[in-house]
Amino acid sequence: MSLVHITHFLAEDGWILLHVALAPQWRRGFREVAASSTVPDLYDHHFEAVVWLQQFKSQNADLLSELQLTTSERYEWSRRETTEAGEPLVALVDLGIARARFASACVMGITTELKRYASQSRCKVALIIDGINTFFCNKSRFRLEDRSFLPPQKFTLYRAFSQFFTMDWTNGVIVGSIDKNANDGERRKSHLPRYVLRQKGWETLDPFVPILVSDYDDVEMRSVVDYYLDRQWLQCPDVASDTGRGELAALSNHNPLSFMHICKAL
């Protein structure tokens, strides 16, 4: 929920949003992975890339049209299909949505273009990642022909967003959450940032500024119950009473994730 509020603020303030809500699923819950048709030694997520492009277009269509960003180079997809320099950046989005085979490469092109334009002060780019520590895991669930697990860094989607972790661009911000459940199964003993990010992640994100998100206080607890009632996710009449609210607070111990799971059962 904190990321949602931050994302809303950035959108209202005129930032182009690169929102990665399901980064761990690209590593372990993917639908289809295939060797890239454009970049040797990389592997593409066809379905997941299309879904991300649709989300990107929905979040940024008006701003992209207003900024009139265009492609700065020529992209060759096949012998007959190209995207010429100077075409609207949204052309890459539409191509990726229409042609799943090139969707991951289109994501790479879009992120590269936006990183360049941000450094030229033509736009402000915000990268928002839920479970950012998954980018620093050592393996995915995709097996190569030799039965070894493919490192996530070999996925085109991961490569596309990892380029923002370097210090060679400006006019941008990276906001991410860390989650031990986004790690490999054998590395979930602690929720502390240094452990979850590993040494590589900690050094890559330096200067890393951790922000502790506490459990709900009494006011937040009342607000989230009101929200669930308004959305009709909670329909029991007794929940709106002080007694019902008190029971939910006690059962969840004011913890957002526990509260969500409790209400899911209702």
Q: What is the mean pLDDT of each run of 10 residues along the chain (266 residues)?
A: 90 95 86 86 92 95 91 88 90 93 93 96 95 88 85 91 93 91 81 86 82 89 92 87 93 91 77
Looking at the fold, whether 88 and 163 belong to one and the same domain comes out as yes
Supply the pLDDT for residue 189.
86
The strand pairing partners of 127, in sequence order, are 18, 174
Residue 251 belongs to domain spanning: 218-265
Contact of 114 with 72, CB cutoff 8 Å: no
The per-residue pLDDT for range 148-175, each reduced to its tens digit, is: 888 888 999 999 999 999 989 999 999 9
Residues 93 and 29 in one domain: yes
The C-alpha angle 232, 212, 11, rounded to 5 degrees, equals 60
Please tell me the predicted confidence (pLDDT) of residue 265.
Answer: 64
Distance CA 150, CA 142 (A): 6
DSSP letter string, 79-124: SS-EE-TTSBTHHHHHHHHH-GGGHHHHHHHHHHHHHHHHHTTS--
Identify the bridge partners of residue 83 per DSSP, sorted by sequence position: 75
Kindly state whether residue 212 falls inside one of the protein's structural domains: no
Q: How many domains does the chain have?
A: 2
Neighbours of 233 (CB within 10 A): 12
Helix then strand then coil, % of the chain, to nearest 5: 50, 10, 35
Instruction: Give the CA angle between residues 17, 140, 103 to the nearest 5°.
Output: 45
178 occurs within a structural domain: yes
pLDDT in tens, 219-261: 999 999 999 999 888 888 888 899 999 999 999 999 988 998 8
Reduced to 3 states (helix: H, G, I; strand: E, B; else coil), residue 33 is: strand
Asked if residue 229 and residue 190 are part of one domain, the reply reads no
What confidence score (pLDDT) does residue 118 get? 96
Please indicate, yes or no, whether residues 55 and 87 belong to a single structural domain of this protein: yes
Q: Extract the runs of DSSP E, i.e. beta strands, from 54-210.
A: 75-76, 82-83, 125-130, 172-177
Asked if 166 and 57 sit in the same domain, the reply is: yes
Q: Are residues 8 and 75 in the same domain?
A: yes
Quick one: 37 exposed, middle or buried, by C-beta within 10 A (0-12, 13-18, 19+)?
A: middle
Together in a domain, 27 and 93 = yes
